[in-house]
Amino acid sequence: MKYVLFASFLALAAPLSAQNQDLGQPIPEGGEVETIEEDGGLEVTVSFEGNLDDLGIAIPGFATDRDVATPANSSGTAALGKELARVITSDLRNNGLFKPTGPDALPQPGFAEITAPSWSTWSNRGAEMLVHGYVRGRADSKLTVGCYLYDMALQQELVREGWVVQPADWRRAAHKCADLIYSRLTGESPFFDSRIAYIAETGTKDNRTKRLAIMDSDGANHRFITTGRSTALTPRYSPDYKKLSYLSYVDGNPRIYVYDIGTGRQTLITQSANPTFAPRWSPDGRWLLYSMAVNGNTDIYRVSSSGGEPIRLTDTPGIDIGGSYSPDGSRIVFESDRSGAQQCYVMDANGGNQRRISFGGARCATPEWSPRGDQIAFTNASTFNISVMSPSGGNVRVLTNGWQDEAPTWAPNGRIIQFFRTERNSGKTGLYQVDLTGENLRKLPTPVDASDPAWGPILP
Amino acid sequence: MNTRIATGLMLASTIALAACSKKAPEELPPPPTETATPTPTAPTGPTVGSQAHFVDAVGQENTVVYFDTDRFNIDAEDQTKLQRQAQYFSQYQQVNFTIEGHCDERGTREYNLALGERRANAAKNYLVSIGIPANRIRTVSYGKERPVALGSNESAWAQNRRAATITIN
């Protein structure tokens, strides 16, 4: 009897371990970031009226009231203050909109100057804006970070905010400060305090290892999630960042799994022997779209993220795949070859009212609805460029011109698009981003080759 | 049962012979030296059901069918190859197999996964139509993830748009 019990236990345990055999170390969950009121602050109109990319911003090191030890920096809070300013400088510089000068080229203000800048120290440095900030180590080991933006011409404060973060989350305070400055000066929504899931690629073209990986929006805090034993593709963060859905060949077949970051467990998106592709979350995180091939015919399905019966949304012979919700969750843009070639279609969230929106002559693939709702980014799969169009299919604009660019994903504020570029012959891949205007194209730093970027929303 | 398969194969072969080869990619492996009739279970040869045995029996060029861009139809040339495979799988009824669907790199990743699945199923459906039981055939799509030709040109792409038959041991 004992032997029988033991055997059945093994039988139950085997599929679970097989399912997880490609997962690496679990990821520690991030802490909460508490926003605190900084006293003072007036509504002041920015004095600068030129182009933002000519706007000089001086960002000296953040001051500390007392240089104390912190897990965030082995040299203490004073050194951390400089690091904070470096991260903010690099955020604003890489964005391409401003001309920031970082702490390594500037004098270090004292703690008392943070709320009362020594204007004469900064006035002849060619900067129209001045950023000041402080970092304070708390008794509970958390950090308080304050961020102040001053208009040099007016000699007045434009905005201030403060945050309490876990030491491990110190970079988030820097990103929040960069977001505060960016939003105050451009009027746009923030985007730096966010993360990206993507596929890290190594090896030769005919023997490529593809691993699920995550990183902050600036490439920091990089982690591999899977070991690379099996091919992983097309990840998507849930809007609350608690789960990752992605395709894995871990059992030999392409299937979508949902990986719970907190528990380290992963489950199949649907219990079916059929291959599943292209996972997508609804903006409120309540629904997941996936595409499933039955006898070679692929259709789009919707399932509640808490489980339950899936609902089939498309029903045509041919490939219906992908899908991206409008920000209000009421509509879905997806791709289908029902007309004979890949084209983009819009339907209601329940699958009704399906209609084609792309008529430009080129193949339309991987459509992604902007978080602002006013644009749809897609891959022109005839020329392999990233393009945008209005939700009705008009006003098409081509943004990139690589040999093969594909798979656009939006910044949380809908102003920047990331995608991946493949090089001819070598098959090498990399992540790129470009402004909605088509300007400021740049390659993102990744430890190895990279594809399938998925930019999450602003961190909760 | 076997008679019906054999008759079907003969008929199909006759039709297929009339069709000319037109889209075989360049740089295919050399033609096999093996004759049409396999001589199995030779003491020193590959084991029945191994990929080597299958390749020896049907010829390497008959283990893979090729597709035009974005297409998944089984044309006359593909049918001839699949009939050759069907002869083998009729003779060795204990051998199950996988059909892998593949695409060239000039497609988006997710669409190619779905297209590879459609190609694998097209080959499977043809084999089923000429008498091979569906439950012996597994399909899997690798999309554009596993190219065999590594260049970025028409010739390489033609070799990568394929459905390859692999025996399951």
Verify that A160 and A244 share a domain, yes or no: no
Domain total of chain A: 2
Chain B: residue nearest A291 by CA?
B114
In terms of phi and psi (left: phi > 0; alpha: psi -120 to 50; beta: otherwise), the region of A453 is beta
pLDDT at A20 over 80: no
Please indicate, yes or no, if residue A23 is contained in any of the structural domains: no
For the stretch B104-150, pLDDT in tens is 999 999 999 999 999 999 999 999 999 999 999 999 999 999 999 99
Going by pLDDT thresholds of 50, 70 and 90, the confidence category of residue A96 is confident
Q: Which of B105, B108, B146 sits opposite A366 (nearest CB)?
A: B108
Predicted-complex ipTM score: 0.92
Name residue A54's amino acid: D
What gap in Å lies between CA B93 and CA B133, rounded to an integer? 10
Mean confidence (pLDDT) of chain A = 92
Q: Which amino acid is at B85?
A: Q
Query: If you write DSSP's letter for every residue of A176-215 in order, what string do you get?
Result: HHHHHHHHHHH-PPP-SSEEEEEEEEEEETTEEEEEEEEE
Residue A25 domain-assigned (yes or no): no
B137: left (phi over 0), alpha (psi -120 to 50) or beta: beta
The mean predicted confidence, pLDDT, of chain B is: 85
Q: Which residue has the tokens 């391409």?
A: A96
Q: What is the pLDDT of residue A53?
A: 76
- Whether the predicted pLDDT of A51 surpasses 80: no
The model's pTM is 0.89
Interface size A-B, in CB pairs within 8 Å, comes to 93
A62 to each of A70, A81, A336, B33, how far by Cα in Å? 15, 4, 52, 77
Which residues constitute the domain of residue A245? 194-458
**What is the Cα Rg of chain A in Å?**
24
Q: Are residues A106 and A52 in the same domain?
A: yes
* Ordered strands of the B162-168 beta sheet: B64-66, B162-168, B96-102, B137-143
**Residues A435 and A373 reside in one and the same domain:** yes
Q: Which residues pair with A453 in a beta bridge?
A: none
Question: Do residue A297 and residue B118 have CB atoms under 8 angstroms apart?
Answer: yes
The interface residues of chain A toward chain B in range 229-248, judged by CB-CB distance below 8 A, are 231, 233-234, 247
CA distances from B124 to A262, A312, B4, B73, B119 (A): 42, 25, 19, 12, 9
* A300 shares a domain with A182: no
Residues 6+ apart with CB under 8 A from A88: A59, A100, A131, A174, A177, A178, A181
- Identify the DSSP state of A319: -
| CATH (domain of A229) | 2.120.10.30
Residue in A138, A131, A76, A125 with CA at minimum distance from that of residue A109: A131
A contacts of B117 (beta carbons < 8 Å): 275, 293, 296, 298
Alpha carbon B70 to its chain centroid, in Å, reads 18
Spell out which residues of chain B touch residue A428, defining contact as CB-CB under 8 Å: none
Question: B141–A424: do the CB atoms touch at under 8 Å?
Answer: no
d(CA A195, CA A239): 11
Shared domain check, A234 and A334: yes
Contacts of B146 in chain A (CB under 8 A): 206
8 Å CB contact of B141 and A321: no
Domains of chain B are: 2-22+47-168 (3.30.1330.60)
Q: Please tell me whether residues A167 and A264 are part of one structural domain.
A: no
Could you tell me how many residues make up chain A?
A: 460
The CATH number linked to A45 is: 3.40.50.10070
Q: Quick check: A152 pLDDT over 90?
A: yes
Task: Say how many residues make up chain B.
Answer: 169
CB A366 within 8 A of CB A404: no
One domain for residues A96 and A58: yes
Same domain as A354, residue A303: yes
pLDDT category of residue A360 using cuts at 50, 70 and 90: confident
**Is the CB of residue A91 less than 8 Å from the CB of residue A178?**
yes
The DSSP-derived string for B92-138 is -TT-EEEEEEE--SSS-HHHHHHHHHHHHHHHHHHHHHTT--GGGEE
Q: Which of the four pLDDT bands, split at 50, 70 and 90, describes residue A420?
A: very high
Is A319 near chain B, with CB under 8 Å? yes
User: Is residue A28 included in any domain, yes or no?
Assistant: no
The per-residue pLDDT for range A279-326, each reduced to its tens digit, is: 999 999 999 999 999 999 999 999 999 988 999 999 999 999 999 999
Average pLDDT over residues A244-251: 97
Print burial letters for A15-38: b (CB count within 10 Å at least 16), e (below 16).
eeeebeebbbeebeebeebeeeeb
In a domain, A266, yes or no: yes
Residue ranges in chain B modelled with pLDDT below 70: 1-43
3-state secondary structure of A400: coil
The verdict on residue A15 lying in a domain is no
Q: Is residue A89 part of a domain?
A: yes
Q: Which of A186, A205, A226 is the last residue of a domain?
A: A186
How far is residue A440's CA from residue A92's CA, in Å, rounded to a whole number? 12
Q: Identify whether A20 is part of a domain.
A: no
- pLDDT score, position B22: 44
- Is A141 part of any domain? yes
Q: Are residues A174 and A238 in the same domain?
A: no
* A229 and A340, same domain (yes or no): yes
Residues A427-449: tens digit of each pLDDT: 999 999 999 999 999 999 999 99
Q: Which residues of B touch A231 (CB under 8 A)?
A: 145
Residue A98's closest CA among A146, A133, A58?
A: A58
Whether the predicted pLDDT of A59 surpasses 60: yes
Give the pair of three-digit tokens for residue A340. Answer: 């004979």
Q: Which two tokens stand for residue A376?
A: 């749809």
Write the secondary structure of A21-89 as one string of H (helix), E (strand) and C (coil): CCECCCCCCCCCCEEECCCCCCCCCCCCCCCHHHCEEECCCCECCCCCCECCECCCHHHHHHHHHHHHH
Q: Is residue A139 over pLDDT 90?
A: yes
Statement to judge: residues A139 and A265 lie in one domain: no
- Tokens 């799509």 locate to B141
Q: Cβ(A293)–Cβ(B159) under 8 Å?
A: no
User: Which residue do the tokens 């903010």 mark?
Assistant: A88
For residue A173, is pLDDT > 70?
Answer: yes
Q: Does A365 touch chain B (CB under 8 A)?
A: yes
Range A51-63 average pLDDT: 90
Task: Mark whether A208 and A171 lie in a shared domain.
Answer: no
Query: pLDDT tens-digit profile of A369-414?
Result: 999 999 999 999 999 999 999 999 999 999 999 999 999 999 999 9
